[in-house]
Structure 1
Amino acid sequence: MEMTFFRASVLAALFFLTACDSSTPVAKVETPAATVLEGKTMGTFWRVSIMNVDKDRASELRDKIQSQLDADDQLLTTYKNDSALMRFNLSNSTSPWPVNPAMADIITESLRVGYKTNGAMDITVGPLVNLWGFGPAKQPLREPDQAQIDDARARTGLQHLTVINQYGQQYLQKDIPDLYVDLSTVGEGFAADHLAKLMSQEGIARYLVSVGGALVSRGTNASDKPWRVAIQKPTDQQEAVQAIVDINGHGISTSGSYRNYYELDGKRISHVIDPQTGRPIEHKLVSVTVVAPTALEADAWDTGLMVLGTEKAKEVVRQEGLAVYMIFKEGEGFKTWMSPQFQSYLVSEKN
């Protein structure tokens, strides 16, 4: 499978349930009354479950979904130099750069969450992502030295990026020529929200959509019950369920450090990079799930909280009143923590 820019956070982190049975890492509909459409995008998989459509209508919808996701990828990917994002990244101009409203909205939300997490969620961290081999560049043969890390960090920082709205036109502006924006932390959430919008435009009132580990639901499933989502245990066993939640028309996203990594000199290198140190995280927090009004918002928060680590993340969750479920390593096992806001979505929790 070609990995485009969404290599980072939540590949196979969540999967759907229509009952309390476990299923595949993306989606498995247990009743023939539901139609499942699926495909590949952004280096991961998309899946849409909908009700009461015939074969011709399903084929038409699938084509529209894939076309929209292809356009989203062309907007946001860092794996294609002609994408809208990469044209901005590769430009040395520090003048306002015109972008479409979708790009402006994604970056505005990312900056908002970035500042709320004290820079832990940083979409300008691209030079560090690339340095550690989680972007278009190949994995390094040896761990980057401090001079390389310092050089990359000097080209990052939320303060260097601004969104401008002037006379109905949106612009991005960077104040250092080689600023490099990487939207891999929020792209799946944006695409999931975009799919949900498409379903509504197409008159579909009951659906569950996913792009990677970002999901959005509306209405009920084929059994007239709420769509339920299973949060995976932090293990390579893809069907191991930690908790089951009813997202009730919201967006949900998970960031985990236990899936996307590589081994270097006998050390596990996580894809989650701490902008403050310039290095992959090494703390004991291994999974963060966020429920929010949109998948984009959930996708932004889960990354920032993941970078912060357990205790600092709890502080931000309490301060912002977020619906969050965390799994962290303790001794030889794992423990969980959830905010009061998350408890209203919880259906059951596994030992």
Structure 2
Amino acid sequence: MQALIDGALSAVNQEMSTYIEDSELMRFNRGPVGEAVPVSEHLAQVVELSLDIHRRSGGAFEVTVGPLVNLWGFGPQPEPEQVPGRAAIEELLQRVGSDALKVEHAPNRITRSREVEIDLSAIAKGHGVDRVAQLLEEQGIRNYLVEIGGELRTLGKNPKGADWRIGIERPDPAGRSVQQPIAVSGKSVATSGDYRNYYERDGKRYAHSIDPRTGYPLEHRLASVTVVADTCAEADGLATALNVLGTEAALEMAEREKLAVFLLVKTDSGFEERYSSTFTPYLD
């Protein structure tokens, strides 16, 4: 079984990694502009889901934001000695935009109308969890918890015969502790936050999450977003989108779409819990 799981995750990396030069995604990014490029079914599905979340979130989720992430020093490039200037940000904003992408099926193809590059790091990990879960179900396994880097998917019951209990982490850079336990079965859970990956320049904190609509790191007080959804890919992508939106807009979207969402908001005295009405049944 371990060999099958390793094989599935290796396949995901070979399809969607930006760190493997000859991955399918990197070959697409180096490919022609204005031509439909044949791709695997999995890559087409994940990009299509990304475009859907982009649309639903009003552009808060953006798989072409990579150049701006790199500019701010949160990609392969080191942290900049100086904060990027407005001119550099404006220039790279011209290379960002999901409106340049088109996905087709039967056959599976993706077209980019200008030189944008796709980075699926905000959704590919969730897709990897889904792939492992699918593999387990194909092997007849009906009780499982699959977890990769904090994103997870569940089915059935835990060894004690109860729903799976998951701890939502308290945003504390000093250590890991549970803010809120939840009980789930047959659902996926993903969390997005900016409390671990950041740097400071001239006394100001710059978080790794970039708002693709402005080109600047997020500055609101929303510390983390946890989403419960059917698939881990959707939970993963939605958590990132809602984190970019900020507290009020995130809750507004959650209520509008009946999303199960739990937020931790920074206050002067600690963290405030906020959650959508659809999330209530998961509180343990």
Q: Identify the TM-score tier after normalising by the shorter chain.
A: over 0.9
Could you report, residue by residue, the CA deviation over 1:53-105 in whole angstroms, capped at 9, with x for unpaired residues? Answer: xxxxxxxx112211211111111111122111111112243200111110111
Superposed counterparts of 1:42-121, under 5 Å:
61-121=1-61
Structure 1: gaps of 5 or more residues: 1-60
Q: Does 1:277 align with 2:217?
A: no
Which has the bigger relative contact order, CA under 8 A and spacing at least 6?
1
| CA distance in 2: counterparts of 1:97 and 1:133, whole angstroms | 30
Q: Does 1:150 align with 2:77?
A: no
| CA distance in 1: counterparts of 2:10 and 2:260, whole angstroms | 31
Query: CA offset at residue 267 of structure 1?
Result: 2.8
Q: Does 1:289 align with 2:229?
A: no
Residues 257 and 287 in structure 1, CA contact (< 8 A), matched pair in contact too: yes
| CA distance in 1: counterparts of 2:35 and 2:210, whole angstroms | 29
Say if 1:128 and 1:341 are closer, same or farther in 2 by CA, change over 3 A: same
Displacement over 4 Å in runs of 4+: none
Residue type at the aligned position of 1:259: R
| CA distance in 1: counterparts of 2:28 and 2:77, whole angstroms | 18
Report percent identity of matched pairs.
Answer: 42
- Structure with a larger share of its residues in strand: 1
Match in the other structure for 1:169: 107
| CA distance in 2: counterparts of 1:65 and 1:267, whole angstroms | 43
User: Aligned with 2:228: secondary structure?
Assistant: strand
Equivalenced residues, count: 284
Match in the other structure for 1:207: 144
| CA distance in 2: counterparts of 1:238 and 1:189, whole angstroms | 24
Could you report, residue by residue, the CA deviation over 1:244-275 in whole angstroms, capped at 9, with x for unpaired residues? Answer: 11121101100011012233343322111101
Query: CA offset at residue 188 of structure 1?
Result: 1.1
Query: CA offset at residue 238 of structure 1?
Result: 3.7
Query: CA offset at residue 237 of structure 1?
Result: 4.2
Structure 2: gaps of 5 or more residues: none
Match in the other structure for 1:233: 170
| CA distance in 1: counterparts of 2:240 and 2:90, whole angstroms | 22
TM-score normalised to the size of structure 2?
0.96
| CA distance in 2: counterparts of 1:265 and 1:75, whole angstroms | 40
Match in the other structure for 1:133: 73
Superposed counterparts of 1:177-326, under 5 Å:
178-326=115-263
Residues 78 and 136 in structure 1, CA contact (< 8 A), matched pair in contact too: no
User: Aligned with 1:280: secondary structure?
Assistant: coil
- Structure with a larger share of its residues in helix: 2
Residues 226 and 262 in structure 2, CA contact (< 8 A), matched pair in contact too: yes
